[in-house]
Amino acid sequence: MLRVAGIGGVVGALGAGSLTACDLDPSSSSEPRVVPSPDPDQELVEAARTELRGLIRRLSATSGTASLVESHRQQLAALQGDPPSGSANRRLSRIQVAARERRAADRFSHWALTAQNGDLARVLASVAAGMRMQPVLREPPRPDEESAS
């Protein structure tokens, strides 16, 4: 019994000694620092933010799109993006707005399917669904707008 306790004490002393000799300061280590691998979804996030900023910029110059712009601002905030400063000078027709929204919704759907992070995929799919639910995409164009574009 005494012998087992003695071995345990020696192992404990060796373990404590090896810990005190260990340098826990990573800046003084001679081994190379581990560089985290880039996030495989970072490009998707940046593309999604850029898409939303572009929509906000263009729609801000178009009358009747305030709710759509606000929706895109909230979607951009969900992606932790900063809103654009300023707006475009050229107004879009209702048909152009609908076309841009459809293209953007298709892009967000594609990005949701290719995202590796499940939470990001859900956010991107939610953005796509939110775009498709906007009245501008659900209402048929008025006859006077079809000839204007």
Residue 112 placed within a domain: yes
86 or 144: which carries more pLDDT confidence?
86
Residue 50 placed within a domain: yes
Query: What angle (nearest 5°) sits at the alpha carbon of residue 52, between those of residues 46 and 55?
Result: 140
Domain count, the chain: 1
Residue 132 placed within a domain: yes
Residue 30 placed within a domain: no
Give the mean model confidence (pLDDT) for residues 70-98: 92
**Residues 112-127: tens digit of each pLDDT:** 999 999 999 999 999 9
136 or 14: which carries more pLDDT confidence?
136
**Six-digit token string for 93:** 């027709």
Residue 87 placed within a domain: yes
Q: Are 44 and 21 in contact (CB under 8 A)?
A: no
Residue 6 placed within a domain: no
Q: How far apart are CA 132 and CA 136, in angstroms?
A: 9
Shortest CA distance to 45 belongs to which of 97, 114, 136, 134? 114
The model's pTM is: 0.69
Q: DSSP per residue over 99-142, as a string?
A: HHHHHHHHHHHHHHHH-SSHHHHHHHHHHHHHHHTSHHHHSPPP
